């Protein structure tokens, strides 16, 4: 008789694990509870939130996990070993969600849209945030979320008092137990791992280390990217002093800018138009990544790269590099600010020390060099 409670059973097609569904199946897995994660926000924030998955599995062992996010973030979450179902906010997926019920829901976004997603289903307990049904104000779902909620309301606290990384604040807000500094959990498939290794070898061309420059950022806070001239100077200096290949990384919005940065220089132009997963593969093919506070930074952290991250408008203390890299702070007196529009004559990205950047890249280069006694590939040493 079919085991209809198994997480692999769909009820409308043969199981991909075993063509004969029976109680003795070695792949049988009965969920102990059903968990919903609602995190729609910026793609980089979704990548960071994968650090919660280990904590969720510790608190809810054997749980069946459904994650709802906005497209295209779903591309990065699909086929994840700790996520059973990925849904988007598209109409068809919301109909699917309305057919489901959950024991526990985690609403990570402080937004009415996320609260509306939660309204499409039923959950016995909600952690994180909720919305006032009449006025629409975002509120803590439980007292544990008060600290994270208050930081969004008080710039003094957020910019200058708080010392916790966002990963810790989320764990505490969602009541996932003692903070254990779990790493980002973003997997490459076996085929993607092979492609990353292939690209790295192709790009090295006899050099020792690949340094990726994540050149851009989203349009929400456009000041999180260094100027074209500044990045060209960095390339010229490090290639003069180090035996490295420089790879320009970015998305579709960075295509033209990357051409400007690389014009006349010996650099690799990685594809910017092949999708998020292809971009993740290119990041994985690098040993060191220089980046602003952006999706590329979170991708590099997820792939355990040596990350040199610079900060101007945003808060450096909210980012955990997990001991692999350095943070460079703008000298701008007004930083951080989180402003989306700025009329300063001298921008925060103009007040980043190129000396500090170069020295940090040199240290990353040294970290990624194999020792004379080591036989490991560079990629294994750096990760």
Domain that holds residue 280: 190-382
Domain-ending residue, one of 124, 144, 173: 173
Alpha carbon 316 to chain centroid distance?
15
128, 68: one domain: yes
Whether 182 is covered by a domain: the verdict is: no
Whether 28 is covered by a domain: the verdict is: no
Alpha carbon 99 to chain centroid distance?
29
CA distance 52 to 356: 32
Whether 6 is covered by a domain: the verdict is: no
Domain-ending residue, one of 173, 198, 224: 173
50, 161: one domain: yes
Query: What radius of gyration do the chain's Cα atoms show?
Result: 22
88, 215: one domain: no
Q: pLDDT grade, residue 382 (50/70/90)?
A: very low
Alpha carbon 213 to chain centroid distance?
17
Q: Determine contact, residues 234/213, Cβ cutoff 8 Å.
A: yes
In terms of Cβ atoms closer than 10 Å to its own Cβ (0-12, 13-18, 19+), residue 106 is buried
Whether 10 is covered by a domain: the verdict is: no
pLDDT of residue 198: 97
Residue 204 in tokens: 């090295």
215, 347: one domain: yes
106, 215: one domain: no
169, 297: one domain: no
- When divided into structural domains, the chain yields a total of 2
**What phi-psi label fits residue 61: left (phi over 0), alpha (psi between -120 and 50 degrees) or beta?**
beta
pLDDT of residue 107: 98
201, 164: one domain: no
pLDDT of residue 379: 44
Q: Is the pLDDT of residue 316 over 60?
A: yes
* Residues facing residue 107 across a β-bridge: 38, 128
146, 47: one domain: yes
pLDDT of residue 370: 67
221, 357: one domain: yes
- What whole-number percentage of the chain has pLDDT above 70? 96
pLDDT of residue 74: 97
254, 359: one domain: yes
pLDDT tens digits for range 246-282: 999 999 999 999 999 999 999 999 999 999 999 999 9
Q: Is the peptide bond before 237 cis (omega within 30 degrees of 0)?
A: no
Q: Is the pLDDT of residue 115 over 70?
A: yes
CA distance 115 to 117: 5
338, 260: one domain: yes
Q: pLDDT grade, residue 15 (50/70/90)?
A: confident
pLDDT tens digits for range 18-35: 877 888 798 888 899 999
Whether 119 is covered by a domain: the verdict is: yes
Whether 15 is covered by a domain: the verdict is: no
Predicted TM-score (pTM) of this structure = 0.93
Domain-ending residue, one of 103, 138, 173: 173
pLDDT of residue 4: 83
Task: List all residues 6 or more positions away from 346 whose beta carbon is below 8 Å from its beta carbon.
Answer: 332
Give the lowest-confidence range in 85-94, 140-149, 307-316: 307-316
Arithmetic mean of pLDDT over the chain: 92
pLDDT of residue 333: 83
pLDDT of residue 371: 56
In terms of Cβ atoms closer than 10 Å to its own Cβ (0-12, 13-18, 19+), residue 176 is buried
Whether 59 is covered by a domain: the verdict is: yes
Q: Residue 367's domain is classified under what CATH number?
A: 3.40.50.2000
CA distance 144 to 161: 19
Strands 64-68 and 34-38: parallel
pLDDT of residue 216: 82
Q: How far is CA 252 from CA 216, 217, 219, 240, 279, in A?
A: 10, 11, 12, 29, 10
Task: List all residues 6 or more positions away from 73 whose beta carbon is below 8 Å from its beta carbon.
Answer: 40, 43, 46, 276
Whether 326 is covered by a domain: the verdict is: yes
147, 243: one domain: no
Q: pLDDT grade, residue 372 (50/70/90)?
A: very low
Q: pLDDT grade, residue 234 (50/70/90)?
A: very high
Task: List all residues 6 or more positions away from 109 whose beta carbon is below 8 Å from its beta carbon.
Answer: 38, 39, 40, 41, 129
């Amino acid at each position: 008789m079919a085991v209809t409670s198994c997480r692999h059973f769909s009820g409308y097609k043969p199981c991909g694990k075993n063509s004969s569904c029976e109680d003795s199946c070695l792949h049988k897995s009965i969920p102990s509870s059903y968990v919903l994660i609602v995190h729609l926000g910026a793609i980089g924030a979704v990548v960071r939130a994968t650090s919660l998955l280990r904590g969720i599995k510790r608190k809810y062992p054997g749980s069946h996990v459904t994650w709802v996010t906005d497209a295209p973030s779903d591309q990065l979450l699909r086929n994840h070993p700790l996520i059973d179902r990925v849904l988007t906010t598209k109409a068809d997926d919301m109909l699917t969600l309305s057919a489901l019920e959950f024991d526990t829901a985690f609403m990570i976004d402080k937004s009415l849209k996320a609260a509306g997603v939660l309204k499409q289903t039923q959950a016995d307990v909600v952690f994180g945030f909720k919305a006032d049904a009449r006025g629409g104000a975002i509120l803590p779902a439980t007292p544990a979320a008060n600290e994270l909620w208050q930081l969004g309301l008080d710039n003094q606290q957020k910019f200058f008092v708080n010392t916790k990384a966002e990963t810790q604040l989320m764990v505490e807000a969602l009541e996932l137990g003692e903070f254990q500094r779990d790493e980002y959990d973003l997997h490459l498939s076996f085929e993607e791992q092979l492609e990353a290794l292939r690209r790295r070898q192709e790009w090295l061309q006899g050099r020792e280390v690949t340094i990726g420059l994540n050149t851009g950022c989203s349009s929400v806070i456009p000041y999180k990217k260094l100027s074209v001239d500044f990045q060209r100077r960095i390339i010229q200096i490090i290639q003069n002093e180090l035996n490295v290949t420089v790879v320009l990384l970015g998305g579709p919005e960075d295509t033209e800018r990357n051409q400007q940065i690389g014009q006349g220089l010996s650099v690799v132009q990685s594809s910017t138009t092949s999708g998020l997963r292809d971009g993740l593969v290119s990041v994985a093919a690098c040993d060191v990544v220089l980046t602003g506070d952006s999706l590329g930074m979170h991708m590099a952290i997820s792939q355990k790269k040596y990350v040199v991250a610079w900060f101007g408008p945003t808060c450096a203390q909210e980012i955990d590099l997990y001991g692999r890299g350095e943070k460079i702070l703008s000298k701008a007196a007004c930083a951080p600010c989180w402003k989306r529009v700025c009329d300063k004559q001298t921008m925060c990205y103009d007040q980043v020390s190129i000396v500090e950047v170069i020295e940090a890249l040199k240290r990353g280069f040294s970290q990624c060099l194999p020792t004379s006694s080591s036989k490991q590939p560079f990629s294994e040493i750096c990760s």
